[in-house]
Amino acid sequence: MKFLIAGAGAIGAYIGARMAHAGLDVTLFARGSHLRAMQERGVQVKGADSDFVAKPKITGTLREVGPVDVVILGVKAHSLSQLAPQLGPVLGPETTVVSTQNGVPWWFFQGFGGEWEGISLERVDPGGVISAAIESRRVVASIVYISTEIITPGVIQHIEGNRISLGEPKGERSDRVRKISEALIASGLRAPITTRIRNEIWVKILGNVAFNPISALTGATLAGMARDPEVSTLVRNIMQEAELVAGKLGLELPVSIEQRIAGAAKVGEHKTSMLQDLEAGRPLELEAVVGAVVELGEHLRIPMPHTRAVYACTKLLAESRAIATSKPASDRSLENALSSRPT
């Protein structure tokens, strides 16, 4: 199989390096100094277990890649509307596209069934640009549980995690999802296949919708938020609102709110991806992670006072930071979207 990592930042370059190191046919698409460094020296991976250098094919132009079997989308959610229209040259008749983004994905209600079938969330897919570029039949969903960061261009620090859960949106165990899983496992990653991928996505949302924006506002780690009595109460209230949305959509959550908070506490003094992005001056995945849940609450007429308050404050913080650095909040290049994706 021929793979393309479209957006080979910290996560994408790590996955691509593992695949190339295992002898798989993989091309990494990147931009800027990170692209040039990988072209010159390969991808250098540093980790607790071992360090290695991989030399996959690297490109800054999708047209020169040609059609591939599998595209793994490595950019963050807020950059998909920029990347998706560029994917035409790499999409053959049977090309599969693996989504990896945090939050509510653009395809979530395609094939959902019932009254919510096919609805588009403006905060996730403005103007339907992503859906127009990537047909729903191509999508295989994934949830990434890997934390990495770019130390310097071309050098990836693997912090923790090696699991990528995979699933067909309709729940079947298809040949294509099995082959993708086998390729990732051959690369040294864990790649379980789930038949209830939407439910698992919402379990991750349950934590991210609360912990991510609060961490951006406070600078606190997961453990710090979980052990603070007042903040943990706010976390719980936001999770309860997100749980109500899930229930109205008919989603079943396999873990309780208390279990989700306890799990975050066990991670320890770990900064969320949103806090890391804020500190690095990168755009936040606010709309897909929080804004989309608020938008669904509006559709469902569910009051979400706690989520709305934290969302509004975090949005203002992000806009204020963007103004302070003279960068419009909408100025989201692919290069600054190629960043880490921890819990």
Active-site residue set: 204
Q: Which helix (H) or strand (E) holds 213?
A: helix 197-218
Report residue 149: phi and psi, to 5°. Answer: -150, 155
Kind plus residue range of the DSSP H or E element containing 19: helix 10-21
**Phi then psi for 94, rounded to 5 degrees?**
-115, 20
CB-side exposure of 199: number of CA atoms within 13 Å? 13
Phi and psi at 147, nearest 5°, equal -115, 120
CA distance 275 to 114: 37
Q: How far apart are CA 255 and CA 237, in angstroms?
A: 16
Site of tokens 């403005």: 126
On whether the CB atoms of residues 251 and 199 are closer than 8 A, the answer is: yes
CA dihedral sign of residues 266, 203, 102, 302:
negative
Parallel/antiparallel/unpaired status of strands 52-54 and 43-46: antiparallel
The residues, any chain, with a CB within 8 Å of residue 165's CB and separated by 6 or more, are 142, 143, 145, 191, 192, 193, 194, 197, 200
**Quick count: other Cβ atoms within 10 Å of Cβ 148?**
26
Both tokens of residue 257?
């709110």
Q: Kindly report the CA angle at 261 between 260 and 267, in degrees rounded to 5?
A: 95
